Amino acid sequence: MRAPATGLPDHEARRLLLLATGLDNAGLASLASLSSDQEVQFKELVERRLAGEPLQYIEGTAQFGPVEVKVDSRVLIPRPETEVLWERAVAALGEADAATVIVDLGTGSGALALALKHAFPTARVYATDVDPDALALARENVEDAGVTVLAGDLFSALPFGMRGNIDLLVANPPYVADEDELPAEVADHEPAVALLAGPHGDEVLARMAEQAFYWVKAGGWIFVEIGETQGDRALELFGDFQCEVLDDLAGRPRILAGYRGATSCVEGNH
């Protein structure tokens, strides 16, 4: 059957119809009409979506590159630009073995850490977050895959022995300024701790940059998602690394990529 008229785009109504019926595409194609229970269920889902709740929260899952994660209002919905970060980080690292250490700081749903474990199954992958609610969901998503989940503020979540031994550090930290306007669908539903960094928006990036050089090993990499106006600031903050800012799929400068040489690129540092 076709999705009834709802006021939603057709592809969204169809996804909600799949959810309400529990059928797959083939099952839905051969369904003549909805039962009264399915009709009630479908109507409720449509109302939630029309009220602005993100589709992924309603469905309870999100696709991220090669992996799928559970999502709900405890975590940010993984974004396509973060998939670009994942692809670029995988390409930079190239290969990994059982001694390779990969860290995802501020993991949220765990999507990035899980996709990195998928790309480098033998590597030791760590996912951290400061938010206990996000950590609970991250554990559900990644622990069975062998990713270690750690709690704490930025690098304080990591064992001290890891300092200087990280081969690949990735992060999609909060980088929105407190007063910046966000789309209602984001501001009303996604967690503020995942989005807002402080009055200027670069506060978490700056705290991360203060320590990153000491944690990443010589010859290691860092990939950090940033706001599209933060490229110059990020290059300045992460100046110890050999850095560039990469574009996302829409051509916006959204990813700070840094290679850690043996010494800092900033004269007088370290």
Nearest approach in angstroms of CB 132 to ligand SAM is: 9
Nearer to ligand SAM by Cβ, of 42 and 238: the residue is 238
The piece of 30-38, 108-116, 141-149, 159-167 that touches ligand SAM (CB under 6 A) is 108-116
Q: Which is closer to ligand SAM, CB of 29 or CB of 192? A: 192
The answer for 251, left when phi > 0, alpha when psi is -120 to 50, beta otherwise, is left
Residues 46-75 that bind ligand SAM (CB under 6 A): 75
What DSSP letter does each residue of 135-175 carry, written as one string?
HHHHHHHHGGGTPEEEESSGGGGS-GGGTT-EEEEEE----
**Cα→Cα distances 74→25, 86, 195, 201, 219, Å:** 29, 22, 12, 21, 35
- Residues 200-259 binding ligand SAM (CB under 6 A) are 204
Minimum distance of ligand SAM from residue 58's CB (angstroms):
18
The footprint of ligand SAM on this chain (CB under 6 A) covers a number of residues equal to: 24
Q: Which is nearer to ligand SAM, 43 or 79 (CB)?
A: 79
> Which stretch in 5-13, 100-108, 141-149, 242-250 sits in contact with ligand SAM by CB under 6 A?
100-108
Minimum separation from the CB atom of position 196 to ligand SAM (A): 9
Q: Which two tokens stand for residue 111?
A: 């999507």
Contacts of the segment 138-145: beta carbons below 8 A, 24+ positions apart: 138/75, 138/107, 138/108, 138/109, 138/110, 138/113, 139/110, 140/70, 141/69, 141/70, 141/109, 141/110, 141/111, 141/114, 142/107, 142/110, 142/113, 142/114, 142/117, 145/114, 145/117, 145/118
Residue 134 contacts ligand SAM per CB under 6 A: yes
Instruction: Return the number of the residue (151 or 235) whose C-beta is nearest ligand SAM.
Output: 151
Could you list the residues that contact ligand SAM (CB under 6 A)?
Answer: 75-76, 78, 82, 105-109, 111-112, 128-131, 134, 153-154, 172-174, 193-194, 204
